[in-house]
């Protein structure tokens, strides 16, 4: 069976891109990274793509007269590459509702909190300030509103008494690198079913739902 083609959109260092590239190196993994697009020239993520031999390019958002024009350029490039699933991996732009609608239920994002808790900026600082004992990350389908959409996979990590946003962030990031490939695998295997704003996973009991529990240690 043909592997699902991924289009990964990045703006920064690309550690989640690297996790997807590493997962796709396994011939048994049911997806491949077909294209990496960055809106930032010189983003470290682009070097990761080049090192892995993955096609990549920069589409600078400042070169377009509007968000819609930029979105149309990205959309066209993804479709030319035959992308079946878009993965946002630290992509620091909000898309127009029209772009989101065009990729409805075929575009994933990862956010470093257990959504719907702590959306937006500084989720680790929000979690520490709130005094929660558990935080984590969420892979979800993208909707027009920021950090909203049906949840596919979550990974939970403990919040330790001495945590700073940086130490908690490092722990959550390690969980992200497990959660994103799992979510992609579920999609590529055709096991994700979307009904409105909820997701069910074929072959998974409630007790075996895709939630990862990650320890405090390395």
In whole numbers, what is the pLDDT of the chain averaged over residues?
94
In angstroms, the Cα distances linking 80 to 75, 76, 142 are 9, 6, 21
pLDDT tens digit sequence for 43-62:
999 999 999 999 999 999 99
* Pairwise CA distance, residues 157 & 168, whole Å: 9
What does the pLDDT look like over 186-203, one tens digit per residue? 999 999 999 989 999 998
Active site residue 111: yes
Number of H helices and E strands in the chain, helices first, is 6, 10
Q: Average pLDDT in the 102-123 region?
A: 98
List the domains of the chain with CATH numbers: 1-103 (3.40.50.170), 110-218 (3.40.50.170)
pLDDT band (50, 70, 90) for residue 218? very low
CA dihedral for 185, 187, 207, 118, sign (positive or negative):
positive
What mean pLDDT comes out for the span 206-210?
50
Among residues 111, 124, 140, 177, the one annotated as catalytic is 111
Residues β-bridged to residue 8: 36, 87
Q: What is the pLDDT of residues 149-174, one digit of tens each?
A: 999 999 999 999 999 999 999 999 99
Q: Which residues pair with 195 in a beta bridge?
A: 198
Q: pLDDT tens, 28-44? A: 999 999 999 999 999 99
- On whether the CB atoms of residues 58 and 41 are closer than 8 A, the answer is yes
CA distances from 73 to 5, 87, 93, 120, 151 (A): 19, 17, 14, 26, 28
């Amino acid at each position: 069976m043909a592997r699902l083609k991924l289009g990964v959109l990045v703006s920064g260092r690309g550690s989640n891109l690297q996790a997807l590239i590493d997962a796709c190196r396994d011939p048994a993994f049911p997806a491949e990274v077909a294209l990496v697009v960055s809106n930032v020239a010189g983003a470290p993520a682009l070097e990761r793509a080049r090192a892995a031999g993955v096609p990549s390019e920069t589409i600078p958002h400042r070169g377009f007269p509007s968000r819609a024009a930029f979105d149309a350029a990205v959309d066209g490039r993804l479709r030319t590459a035959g992308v079946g699933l878009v993965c946002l991996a630290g992509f620091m732009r909000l898309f127009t509702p029209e772009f989101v609608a065009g990729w409805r239920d075929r575009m994933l994002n990862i956010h470093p909190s257990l959504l719907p808790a702590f959306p937006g900026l500084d989720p680790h600082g929000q979690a520490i300030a709130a005094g929660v004992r558990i935080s984590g990350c969420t892979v979800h389908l993208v909707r027009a509103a920021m950090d909203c959409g049906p949840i596919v996979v979550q990974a939970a990590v403990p919040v330790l008494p001495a945590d700073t946003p940086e130490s908690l962030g490092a722990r959550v990031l390690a969980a992200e690198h497990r959660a994103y490939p799992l979510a992609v695998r579920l999609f590529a295997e055709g096991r994700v079913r979307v009904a409105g704003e909820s997701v069910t996973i074929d072959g998974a009991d409630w007790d075996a739902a895709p939630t990862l529990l990650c320890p405090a240690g390395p």
